[in-house]
Amino acid sequence: MPVFKTPFNGYSVKFSPFYESRLAVATAQNFGILGNGRIHVLDLSPTAPTLSQLVSFDTADGVYDLSWSESHDSLLVAATADGSVKIYDTALPPTANPIRSLHEHTREVHSTDYNPTRRDSFLTASWDDTIKLWTVDRPTSVRTFKEHAYCVYNAAWNPRHSDVFCSASGDCTLRIWDVREAGSTMIIPAHEFEILACDWNKYDDCVIASASVDKSIKLWDVRNYRVPITVLNGHGYAVRRVKFSPHRRNVLASCSYDMTVCLWDFMVEDALVARYDHHTEFAVGVDMSVLVEGLLASTGWDELVYVWQQGMDPRAV
Amino acid sequence: MATISPAPPNPTAEDLPTSATEIVQPKNEVQQDAQAEAPKPISEPSVFKNSEPIREDQVQNAVKFLSHPKVRGSPVMYRRSFLEKKGLTKEEIDEAFRRVPDPSPSAQATSTNQDGQVKSPSNIQPQAPTQALQTAAAAPTGAISPGGSLMRSRFHWYHAVFAVGLLAVSGAGTAVLIKNTFVPRLKSWIRKVILEDENDIVKKTDAKPSLAEEAAAAAKAAAAAAADVAKASQEMLNSKNNEKRYFEEFMSLLDVQVQEMKSMNNAIRKLEGQTNYSGKTSIANREDHRVSMTNVKQQYTNGKVDFDSRSVRSSSPPAPVEPSVAPHPKSYMDIMAMVQRGEKPSNIRDINDQPPNPNQQLSSSRFAPRSKPWEVGQTQNGSSHVLQSEVNAEGLNYMVQDDGLNHQLENESSVPWWQRKNVRISEVDNEDELKSGPNGAQTHELPVRRTWVPPQPPPVAMAEAAEAIRRPKPSVHNEQLAGDQSVSRPSDVTDELQRITKISETGSAEEINGGSSVLNSSEIQEEKEQFSEAN
């Protein structure tokens, strides 16, 4: 399975929704505490299991997350630690990049997500307790959602309802928002500790997964949100990111500070389907490919990016 | 914006009671899904809103909480956050805020009769001025978050220092007063006495020289004594001042030591990783260093709150079920220590990452957006309808364009390694089952086939499919679909989508949702049927 060594500590990895073999990695120097950042656009070679770099972009501050555009095959949105949101066009030469730098957040931008249904807008979630909605053509944000009492770690669009998204925050609540409404439409006090990630089920648009510092992942149905559908335990430390499979309604992947990436099937009695412990530091980013079923990618603070097919060993040659 | 109830939710709030009865009942039953989802495709997504009626008991609890004097002094954000964490809905929180009178004299909340008992203690307290005093005094003490105790203890410490300072100042002031008023008075009195004595002596020189002499001597002695007393008192004052100075120096030294101890404590805690949460540690540390190290001009609107909450969180007592902190890598701790000392790691470069041309034109997009695997049969967005048929057509183009890449594969007769192992296994089966198509073309189609997922067939076909002999696994056979079937697809796409639309509109959304996996298998059956038809 291919491995790519990044010079900086990995923070996030995302597959391109246009090219099966393409993915982007967000990295930050010095574990993201203080230092530069770099975005790598990598390509999987179809013949040999190798990852090669197509292009990379340097940033002044660490990059915490990125997101591919759903409407334009070469656009990337990057969330950086200095509060700016940068847009890159990988089809243009690096000297012409970034094409936009949007600076409105007052703290680090921790995550970004592109709308998969409307395909024209994206969200950024920041440690300044706000979530902002942007479009690529506008120099300023379209909306600002300010309700959380602490850092917002993640925001994710609903895969079926183009105006609904959820957010996970350090104030221990999940909030569901509708862009057409002024404020949040639902507040779920999901955990007793900070919630680091959230994601929607792609096949059941009312199911959300929340990943928390309390090492658990909880699945919620918004129609009956007082009690979780199920609680997935198995990680040894805080769960950093969670991602529902784009191909299977019951499957989700998660990565954690216990250095493992886990695959879960929550309709099964013993939900943990697979555990991959290939990382030697915090596993911080994970993604499942929309175009290739079962293809997983992960990155961590050990400066490595792995891409592997579910069921195989990521470290296999 | 938190406490203002804006216009848009109000109409829905009125709708809530009417729909609440519908939804509350089905909640007890299993069919809540269908009923709750029935209005969904048609009108607004009510599923994502709270449809429960306001729970009066929760509101009562909230009002009691909000009426507590210590809570009154805390920022509104903390109060809201606490109530949210307790599971109250927005409407319940707003209702509770409405019922509890605002401390500020201008905003008078309408008090309902239900909470008369609750509000009587608050009414007993005198009105605005003392309340303002209370809020001012209670503001440093009031904190709802778990680390409130720490805030209070910090306040006390602070308070103690302030009190000591006050005492010192007052002591110095009285000393000065004494010096300035008492001593001169004493001296003048002594002088007066001496003068009087002298006068007396002068007057009585003839009469009683001895007495006068004695009196004079006594007066002088008294004066001398008084002078000594004055001197002694002055010396005492001086020594007191010195002592005060020493005391203050001592206090400042203690402060420094306390600071050092605190920082050592923090460092120890971090090293041992006992009371801090992993996520919070990194965040707490980041906040720490961002405040000190950042050189971008940023307004930390919540800076103070964050600082307080950060220190609150990092020093809060351990909760009963406390998640253990992940051990950070050693180099991470090194860098954290460096940053806290104020040093900058040496490997940081100055990078200008500003856009060279802020109005740079985007390059032209080469491919149209592709439909997602879960969007098949999707009827929510009208736009995606059209998009799908377009995408299907363009998907063909994409496949054609991608042929350049795959022709190589064809020659080497290999599949991109990232395809599932199952695919290769089933390829062997496929060769037997499928009547035509060279292997090369097959494999050549396979990786590209993934890019275009055919739409789901209508449920009618499902019944037929269910009776088919072959029951392949859906995931495996998705990749078996050959490309030439796709040619016949575009015409069928809209028909099938229409049929699916009808089904969903009749409210069997659950069917579709639940049956998506079943649909997969049926789709494959139909593919096979069509393929066999084509042959």
Residue B438 phi/psi, 5-degree rounding, is -70, 155
Within A106-173, where are the H helices? none
Report pTM: 0.57
CB–CB of B160/B87 below 8 Å?
no
Residue A227 pLDDT level (bands cut at 50, 70, 90): very high
Reported as type and span, the H/E element at residue A155 is: strand A152-157
Neighbour tally for A20: CB within 10 Å = 24
Instruction: Encode pLDDT of B49-88 as tens digits.
Output: 877 788 899 899 999 998 888 888 888 888 888 899 888 8
pLDDT, tens digit, 9 for 90 and up, residues B100-142: 876 554 444 444 444 444 444 444 444 444 444 444 444 444 4
**Residue in B with minimal Cα distance to A148:** B81
A3-309 has which fold?
Answer: Methylamine Dehydrogenase; Chain H (2.130.10)
Q: If you average pLDDT over residues A106-126, what whole number do you get?
A: 95
Residue pair B88/B65 in contact by the 8 Å Cβ criterion: no
Residue of A nearest to B276 (CA): A213
Q: Tell me if A35 sits within 8 A of A48, measured CB to CB.
A: no
Q: Residue A5 to residues A247, A260, A305, B11: CA-CA distances in angstroms?
A: 29, 18, 6, 55
Q: Which residue has the tokens 């039953």?
A: B29
Q: Across the A/B interface, how many CB contacts are shorter than 8 Å?
A: 299
Nearest to A246 among B329, B367, B374 (CB): B374
Q: What is the pLDDT of residue B118?
A: 42
pLDDT in tens, B47-56: 788 777 888 9
Residue A64 parent element (H or E)? strand A63-68
- Our CA-based measurement puts residue A74 at a distance from the nearest CA of chain B, in whole angstroms, of 7
Spatial distance between the Cα atoms of B315 and B274, rounded to a whole number of angstroms: 11
Q: Please say whether the dihedral angle defined by the alpha carbons of residues B70, B72, B76 and B82, taken in this order, is positive or negative.
A: positive
pLDDT band at B294 (very low <50, low <70, confident <90, very high): very low
Alpha-carbon span B322 to A213, nearest angstrom: 10
For the record, the structure tokens of B110 come out as 């309408």
Contacts of A316 in chain B (CB under 8 A): none
Q: Can you list the alpha helix ranges (DSSP code H) found in B351-467?
A: 382-412, 421-433, 439-449, 459-466
Nearest to B351 among A60, A74, A89 (CB): A60
Which chain A residue has the Cα nearest residue B384? Answer: A117
CA distances from B151 to B68, B177, B280, B285, B311 (A): 18, 38, 19, 20, 9
pLDDT of residue B532: 52
CB nearest B369 (choices: A71, A129, A192):
A71
Is residue A123 within 8 A of residue A133, CB to CB? The reply is yes
B301 pLDDT exceeds 60?
no
* Banded pLDDT at A16 (limits 50, 70, 90): very high
Question: Tens digit of pLDDT for each residue in B225-270?
Answer: 888 988 989 999 988 888 888 889 889 888 988 888 988 888 888 8
**Count of beta carbons in the 10 Å neighbourhood of residue B181:** 10
Contacts 24+ apart (CB under 8 A), A100-104: A100/A136, A100/A139, A100/B355, A100/B358, A100/B360, A101/B353, A101/B354, A101/B355, A101/B358, A102/A134, A102/A139, A102/A140, A102/A141, A104/A132, A104/A140, A104/A141, A104/A144
A185, A230 in Cβ contact below 8 A? no
pLDDT category of residue B204 using cuts at 50, 70 and 90: low
Domain boundaries, chain A: 3-309
A274, A260, A185, A195: which is closest to A228 by C-alpha? A195
Q: What is the ipTM of this complex?
A: 0.83
State how far the Cα of B30 lies from the Cα of B72, in Å rounded to an integer: 43
Give the residue-averaged pLDDT of A59-83: 95
What confidence score (pLDDT) does residue A286 get?
Answer: 96
Q: Residue A103 has which token pair?
A: 């600076």
